[in-house]
Amino acid sequence: MLIDGYDGEPLVAGEDLLARPGFWAAYLLWMCESDEENGEPSAEWFGADAADAGAAYQELTDDGAWPVFRVPFGSGHTAVVVSRNLADDSGTDYVVTHPEWRRHGHLATLDGHQAGPGLSWSELVHIANTPDRGAPGVHDPRARLLLLLPALGDEDAPADAADVIAEALVRVGAPAGKAPRVAARLLDHPLWEAARWSAPGASPLSGGEQPFAGILHCDGPYSPRCGMQLARGITPEQTERLAHALGTLPA
């Protein structure tokens, strides 16, 4: 598998891992940490046991085969989750790719120097619900939402956001009785403060000279999208197609 910026790395398609027992616990459990007493998260919250979660985690962090999860959406774009399993620089990268782009766009990075958030709630839901079924990757809307959830950070997420996440968790095997609590913790994760998103009236186009208001700007100081350039070096036409694909520019 080839992704610009990861030349020579042992990238492998990871979509089959989603069906493994314990995958979702391995992928999301760490986001459920809280200061609440008597609230230590466990694999059971995701309908798994500790052994299965541990085995799935070993596969997620294999330094000889880095799992990559592709989430294809509109107009040939793909959100990609890369398990960057370097021995001295491990982490998870969330990027956007397109066959016409020379470089991928940067959404978020989870590691010792994390960068984010990378998606607003509206973008997350739109991507989750607009799979490009002609492209390889994950097409189930619930799994797509959960895969990209760590990149979310939105102060203005709607009141029913936790309900949407809880429903997705139940669909992938979490106990219905635990899903609302898990969803609430996933929304209140410890990565970064919830940010605000806006459509600026005159934001610079990546690679262009004219203003373009279709790509949202994030006010989070550690967000790759604070500078309003989700993908650098793309043309105005490519930027417009990206905004349509993200659901932030009306059709």
Q: What is the pLDDT along the chain (251 residues), one digit of tens a residue?
A: 788 889 999 999 999 999 999 999 999 999 998 766 556 889 999 999 999 999 999 999 999 999 999 999 999 999 999 999 998 889 999 999 999 999 999 999 999 889 999 999 999 999 999 999 999 999 999 999 999 999 999 999 999 999 999 999 999 999 999 999 999 999 988 788 889 999 875 444 444 434 466 889 999 999 999 875 688 888 989 999 999 999 998 76
With a CB cutoff of 8 Å and minimum separation 6, the contacts of 105 are 95, 96, 97, 230, 231, 232, 242
CA 143 → CA 124, 139, 229, distances in Å? Answer: 12, 8, 27
Q: How far is CA 110 from CA 157, 165, 235, 248, in A?
A: 21, 20, 28, 25
The pTM score is 0.93
Write out the two tokens for 191: 């990565």
**Residue 105: predicted pLDDT:** 94
Q: What is the pLDDT of residue 53?
A: 97
pLDDT at residue number 55: 98
Residue 88 is predicted with a pLDDT of: 86
